[in-house]
């Protein structure tokens, strides 16, 4: 694995750094979710106007034909500049690439540009109360009715549904075939009275996630993506893109928080405590390890064309390290870190969800045990 950037990659990084210096959105507002969302939507429009909304997309769709390494540089530089992610991150990373891979020319013409410009926001309707990690067990059903599909069911953990115009929906369209073969993938308009969005309020007071209650919602047949019964294959395309590039943004963001914590420890004198210094040193090593694991994952994709199981190891270690970082911050900063509404208190509370979101630690450990260590499956 060669970590040296080529001249083209360095030129790409320098161009982006220069652009970010001239167009930085400033510090994102704290506290109010709607204000934060509006801030990120404005930021995506700025990225779109500058041609930086989705560098990994082909240029014919409004991207920059960026390589995997350039995409990694893109997310690292966003994190380094402490700029936020775009508002429509699920549209840019998941819906767009899936529509490019499986959509008709008409579907690509209709949906891709509004995704880039943040005109239309997307959410992901995969997880269900009894089918979270086991997607193929989902029960939401879609029944053909002339030129439409009628959908009934329930989804959960639907991030950003309250802001979304469209939903990547996987539903069961055939009950009489093996469960993986009876699924279809739809582009569902969220603006229907038959769809209720109910927020799931977290310990932070935010409601990033939602439940969807769908009672005979209608989807035109032309919004079927990839053909009837191909939902499992289309969904895998979405899932393959789920963590693309974000790992680089998250590890840089973690580095920023650690740097802030070290600064706080220096200012309040806790850095002189050898136990505190040891914990901060351990976090430095863990953060650097995550950076190298992110590049190792990138190298695997470049070599074999698809992510390897080390992505599960990275996610597991990231959630563990972020929780350790938040706990250390509470110990180093002291009572001030426990005051509601402060950034440190937010980090402490928000980190509790890290080992659940994006794949639970228990599932990730199973993947590492079976596919990396080659241990036998539990009976």
Instruction: Walk me through the domains of the chain, giving residue ranges and CATH numbers.
Output: 7-117 (1.10.540.10), 122-228 (2.40.110.10), 233-372 (1.20.140.10)
Residue 241's alpha-carbon distances to 303, 328, 332, 372, in angstroms, are: 17, 32, 37, 21
Given a cut of 70, the residues of the chain with pLDDT beneath it are: 1-2, 132-133, 242-245, 305-307, 378-379
Q: Are strands 166-172 and 122-125 parallel, antiparallel or unpaired?
A: parallel
HSE-CB for 175 with a 13 A CA cutoff: 5
Residues 6+ apart with CB under 8 A from 234: 98, 101, 102, 170, 185, 225, 226
Active site residues: 242
Residue 302, pLDDT score: 76
Tokens 């009894």 belong to 130
Say whether 27 sits in a helix, a strand or coil. Answer: coil
Residues 6+ apart with CB under 8 A from 259: none
Distance of CA 141 to the CA centre of its chain: 26
Structure tokens at 374: 């080659």
How far is 324 from 326, CA to CA, in rounded Å? Answer: 6
CA dihedral 18, 19, 25, 27 (to 10 degrees): -20
Residues 6+ apart with CB under 8 A from 300: 307, 308, 310
Q: What secondary structure does DSSP assign to 302-343, as a single string?
A: HHHSS--THHHHHHHHHHHHHHHHHHHHHHHHGGGGGSTTSH
Residue 57, pLDDT score: 95
Helix axes of 68-80 and 246-268: crossing angle, nearest 10 degrees? 30
Residue 29, pLDDT score: 85
Residue 220, pLDDT score: 98
Q: Tally Cβ neighbours within 10 Å of residue 117.
A: 17
Whether residue 20 contacts residue 81, with contact meaning beta carbons closer than 8 Å, is answered with yes
How far is 250 from 25, CA to CA, in rounded Å? Answer: 19
What is the pTM for the complete model shown? 0.87
Residue 371, pLDDT score: 80
Residue 1, pLDDT score: 62
- 185: which DSSP letter? E
Residue 137, pLDDT score: 86
How far is 314 from 247, CA to CA, in rounded Å? Answer: 8
Longest C-alpha distance within the chain, in Å? 73
Residue 333's alpha-carbon distances to 82, 295, 347, 355, in angstroms, are: 22, 32, 12, 24
Residue 132, pLDDT score: 64
Distance of CA 252 to the CA centre of its chain: 15
Whether residue 100 contacts residue 112, with contact meaning beta carbons closer than 8 Å, is answered with yes
């Amino acid at each position: 694995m060669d970590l040296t950037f080529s001249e083209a990659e360095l030129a790409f990084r320098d161009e982006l750094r220069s652009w970010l210096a001239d167009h930085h959105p400033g510090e994102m507002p704290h506290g109010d979710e709607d204000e934060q969302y509006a801030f990120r939507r404005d930021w995506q429009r700025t990225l779109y106007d500058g041609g930086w909304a989705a560098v990994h997309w082909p240029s014919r769709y409004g991207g920059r034909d960026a390589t995997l390494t350039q995409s990694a540089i893109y997310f690292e530089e966003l994190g380094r500049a402490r700029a936020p992610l775009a508002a429509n991150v699920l549209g840019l990373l998941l819906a767009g690439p899936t529509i490019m891979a499986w959509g008709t020319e008409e579907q690509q013409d209709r949906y891709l540009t509004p995704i880039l410009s943040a005109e239309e926001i997307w959410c992901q309707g995969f997880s269900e109360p009894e089918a979270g990690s086991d997607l193929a067990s989902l029960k939401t059903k879609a029944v053909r009715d002339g030129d439409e599909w009628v959908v009934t069911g329930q989804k959960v953990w639907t991030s950003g549904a309250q802001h979304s115009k469209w939903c990547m929906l996987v539903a069961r369209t055939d009950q009489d075939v093996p469960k993986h073969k009876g699924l279809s993938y739809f582009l569902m308009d969220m603006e229907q009275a038959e769809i209720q969005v109910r927020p799931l309020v977290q310990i932070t007071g935010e409601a990033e996630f939602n439940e969807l209650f769908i009672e005979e919602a209608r989807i035109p047949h032309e919004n079927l993506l990839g053909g009837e019964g191909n939902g499992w294959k289309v969904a895998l395309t979405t899932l393959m893109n789920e963590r693309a590039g974000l790992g680089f943004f998250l590890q840089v963001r973690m580095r920023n928080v650690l740097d802030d914590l070290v600064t706080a420890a220096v200012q309040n004198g806790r850095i002189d405590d050898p136990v505190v210094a040891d914990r901060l040193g351990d976090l430095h090593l863990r953060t650097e390890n995550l950076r190298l694991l992110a590049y190792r994952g990138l190298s695997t994709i470049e070599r074999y064309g698809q992510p390897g199981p080390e992505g599960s190891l990275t996610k597991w270690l990231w959630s563990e390290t972020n929780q350790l970082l938040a706990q250390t911050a509470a110990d180093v900063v002291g009572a001030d870190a426990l005051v509601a509404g402060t950034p440190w208190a937010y980090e402490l509370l928000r980190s509790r969800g890290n080992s659940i979101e994006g794949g639970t630690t228990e599932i990730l450990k199973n993947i590492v045990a079976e596919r990396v260590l080659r241990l036998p499956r539990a009976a």
